Amino acid sequence: MASPLSNFSLLTDDLLFRILDKITSTSDRKNFRLVSKDFHRFDSIHRKTLKLLRLEFANSLLHKFSQINALDLSTCPRIDDATISSILLTSRFSNSLSWTLNIKKLVLSNATGLRSKGLELLMRFCINLEAIDVSDCWEFGDLEACALACGLGLREVRMDKCVKVTDVGLARIVVGCGPFKIAYGSWRTFFVITMLSRAFQLTGSFELVTNRSLFSIASLGKLKSLSMVGCSLLDDVGMKYLGRGCPLLQVLDVSRCNGISSYGLTLVLKVHSGLQQLGAGYCFADLSADLIYSLKNLGSLNLIKFDGARLSDSKFLSISLYCKQLVEVGLSKCIGVADEGIIQLASGCVNLKILDLTCCNLITDIGISAIADCCTNLVSLKVESCNLITEKGLERLGHSCLLIEELDLTDCSGVDDTGIVTYWSKLFNDMRAGFIRCEGIRDEGLAALSGGCRKLKILNLSYCRAITDEGIQHLSNFEDLSVLEMRSLINITCSGMTIVAAGCKKLLDLDLKFCRNIDDSGFWALAYYSRNLQQINISHCGISDVGLCMVLGNLTCLQDAKLLHLTKVSVEGFELALRACYMRLKKVKLLSSLRSLLSAEILKMLQGRGCKIKWH
């Protein structure tokens, strides 16, 4: 009898590639590659994106996956000019530079050690590069911006939090690279904005954008997306300018722009009928009747965020009548949100997938039941501090909303193990869950969680102090768990930590703050098993000099460490531990008292590699 695998030889490459398009899970793709050499070859040819965790494998992987068009180096430690030069030169000597010709998108966010020479090398070799992300590179300045200008084909540049870039650097990018499709950055004055006459998208969050800037932005006839979060100098005059221009505008976010009133936003909404997404969180205390009525013109609106505003039941009725295409609604900390309004919203907006009701503490199981009955496609629900919700509401959700991937029950004191057992036993999605300060969550709840939701990726159990080692050991069943927060779990010891570390080998972010009963033996297990950890918080833990050196020395992917109030660690212990990892750390948080005690040499070594030290 012929092998089942022989049947695949009858399929064309195109059909196999279509099959691969449907396999989105990382673990499933890995299993596909392991089936046979042919499957491995097909995956290598089909793969279009590559995210590196370890630089030592960079050249072999780039040679193997030479067809990729997107390369992400944001999670790699030790990214600097020398490493970039080494990768490119090694590829050149081995005649495997073909990957540089295919790269169209490059992500270098958090590459704090990278400077202008390394960036210029990348621009020279990756001649077809169209998009680059250097966000959170806090040392990135005008010299680095000038290096980006060597990328003649660049159409998208993201520079969030690159605070040292001035208009001079931005102007060099625009002049050198030509017309942009998307441009992100810090628009400090009107000068650069006037040069982006063909921009499709602008982001000027938290910068000194004024009404004069909006007067000029309004002349951008092709602008489709405009984000101005926290631009406090804007007011209704600027909104009036915007209402007269940007005819193709589809996305507008003016959240935390305190100078803008309901009247000013209404001026924009009445004109821009093609608007699809509207963010106006924490702008004004109340939503005027005119503003709500202007939503009637927005037939394509699929996202609204009115966080922090006052909303009555009658306004919910209007929203449900005018905005039936809504997919995402943000109502965090809104005043007056109760069951009646939620019932109206859910019954009118049945396509809802994302709903944020954080701190809407008047909502009860009645409102949750309405959401469950009407919005069966719900993917994300945040009900932090909604203390009137009980296990009955969770049971209704578990019965109807089988697609849910994110559930935040932080500070929901009415939720206990009963609701978790009923709800989680039915879900098998790639989940994110938060149970912060849910004192009713105990070991039995974690047992149910591990039995029903094996694909859990993000879990927050902080301050659920009833959980013990017996319950925490169930987390070892979550092989795909990448983010785990367990602050102040005072009953967790080294035994429980060892089991978690051995079972959850894909952990990237771990928060153990105030876990005082975990000492060196628990951290040795982390150092041995959790080699992919990138962020760790071990403040207020019982770790000693030896344990700290072991953790920081062995975790070769570690980039962000919070090391506050480690009473068993001496100054010499801190010194040795930091020396063991200074080449890869990007951020470290230390007590201010150590500033004068640590040697000037180690501080210079850290800062020289682009590490940002936050003194507490």
Task: Tell me the pLDDT tens digit for each residue of 101-142.
Answer: 888 999 988 887 888 898 888 888 888 888 888 888 877 888
Looking at the predicted structure, is the pLDDT value of residue 201 above 60?
A: no
Q: Residue 556: pLDDT band by 50, 70, 90 thresholds?
A: confident
Using the predicted structure, report yes or no on whether residue 84 has a pLDDT greater than 60: yes
Return d(Cα 348, Cα 295) in angstroms, integer. 14
pLDDT given at position 437: 65
Report whether pLDDT(276) > 90.
yes
**Mean pLDDT on 308-326:** 91
Task: State how far Cα 562 lies from the chain centre.
Answer: 19
CA nearest to 524, candidates 540, 508, 542, 506: 542
Q: Is 494 helix (H, G, I), strand (E, B) or coil?
A: helix
Higher-confidence residue of 100 and 536: namely 536
- Residue 388, token pair as written in the block: 């009137």
Return the higher-pLDDT residue of 135 and 281.
281
Rounded distance between C-alpha atoms, residue 492 and residue 405, angstroms: 27
Tell me the CA distances in angstroms from 31 to 64, 450, 474, 479, one per residue in order.
17, 22, 24, 14
Model confidence at 388: pLDDT above 80? yes
Backbone angles phi, psi at 329, to 5 degrees: -135, 130
Residue 432: pLDDT band (50, 70, 90) is low
Q: What mean pLDDT comes out for the span 201-209?
A: 53
- Element housing 537 (H / E): strand 535-537
Q: Is the pLDDT score of 247 beyond 70?
A: yes
Question: pTM for the full model?
Answer: 0.78
How many other CB atoms are there within 10 angstroms of residue 29's CB atom? 15
Q: Which of 239-248, 446-455, 556-565, 606-615 has the lowest mean pLDDT?
A: 446-455
322 and 300 Cβ atoms separated by less than 8 Å: no
Percent of the chain with pLDDT over 90: 38
Residue 405, pLDDT above cutoff 70: yes
Residue 1 has pLDDT above 60, yes or no: no
* 267: helix, strand or coil: helix
Q: Is 381 helix (H, G, I), strand (E, B) or coil?
A: strand
DSSP 473: G
Tell me: the pLDDT tens digits for 141-181? 888 888 888 887 887 788 777 777 776 776 677 666 655 54
pLDDT at position 195 over 60: no
Residue 398 pLDDT level (bands cut at 50, 70, 90)? confident
The three-state secondary structure class of 532 is coil
**What is the SS3 assignment for 5?**
helix
Looking at residue 399, its pLDDT comes to 84
pLDDT band at 454 (very low <50, low <70, confident <90, very high): confident
**Share above pLDDT 70 across residues of the chain, in percent, rounded to a whole number:** 88
Token pair 């507490």 in the structure block, residue: 616
* pLDDT > 70? residue 56: yes
Residue 322's pLDDT band (boundaries 50, 70, 90)? very high
Residue 211 has pLDDT above 90, yes or no: no
Residue 275 has pLDDT above 50, yes or no: yes
Distance from C-alpha of 595 to C-alpha of 613, rounded to nearest angstrom: 10
pLDDT of residue 523: 94
- Most confident among 6-20, 305-319, 424-438 (mean pLDDT): 305-319
Angle between helices 571-581 and 600-608 (to 10 degrees): 30
